Structure 1
């Protein structure tokens, strides 16, 4: 005698299939939700200019100290952002910007102009939304985990 177990189940096969299908679709929709950072909140040109200046100062200041010379004044203009990628770093929305800019280094006895210098910056708006930070990867750590250093951008 063959037992018919379908009579013991409180629901039909069609109901089970519909429930599983609905559960799968709900999972699929949840997985496809974008956690992307909105571009509307991307930094403006002044923030990008200050980030580039801060990045340059971090490179030029040690050199000026080593050579025992006056730190050059920087004039950054014609910033052309070519690409903006949104990323999340440390659970906060961040922006990876690349592009070009023109630079004028003002030294005590001369001015040096450079056109179409490339830049590559990571910028992060802080949780309260009032300040921005320049982020840079710490190359001294292992490649398996990314450690970021952050620097406040003066407003």
Structure 2
């Protein structure tokens, strides 16, 4: 009789405790470091700059990123993998053929996804389609 009551109280208590320990968002401690954020912004800039240079039939300028400031980090899961939505600003120095241009406080808004093994990161870009559908993502490897 005691084991019956024990099962009735202990099993639900254990289930409740296990559910309380699980997290609905990835831990902020696993968020990408500054080097990964810089590489992700550079990758996004390179993709945009390449498309623009091709359409203008111009050479691609060299650029340098600095003063990257992350102002907001939102952890979430996308496709069952830890993902971090980062927003902030950075300074950009463009080296054009005849001049140098400096832009300050450029905003960024990126999604970075930690891969299963935890060694690599991917930049996610949302594909713009029908608003009613689930968002679709394209991912790009951030070179280590």
Aligned to 1:40: 29
Q: Which has the higher strand share?
A: 2
Q: Does 1:116 align with 2:105?
A: yes
TM-score, structure 1 normalization? 0.79
TM-score, structure 2 normalization? 0.84
Please tell me whether the aligned partners of residues 72 and 107 of structure 1 are also in contact (alpha carbons under 8 angstroms): yes
Residue of structure 1 aligned with 2:67, choices 78, 95, 111 = 78
**Is the alpha carbon distance of 1:143 and 1:72 closer, same or farther for their aligned partners in structure 2, counting shifts above 3 Å?**
farther
Aligned to 2:141: 152
Q: What displacement does 1:135 show?
A: 0.3
Q: What displacement does 1:144 show?
A: 2.5
SS in 2 for 1:94: strand
SS in 2 for 1:49: helix
Alignment RMSD (CA, Å): 2.4
Structure 1 outlier segments of 4+, above 6 Å: none
SS in 2 for 1:37: coil
Aligned residues, how many? 141
- Which stretches in structure 1 are left out of the alignment for 5+ residues? 1-9
- Which stretches in structure 2 are left out of the alignment for 5+ residues? none
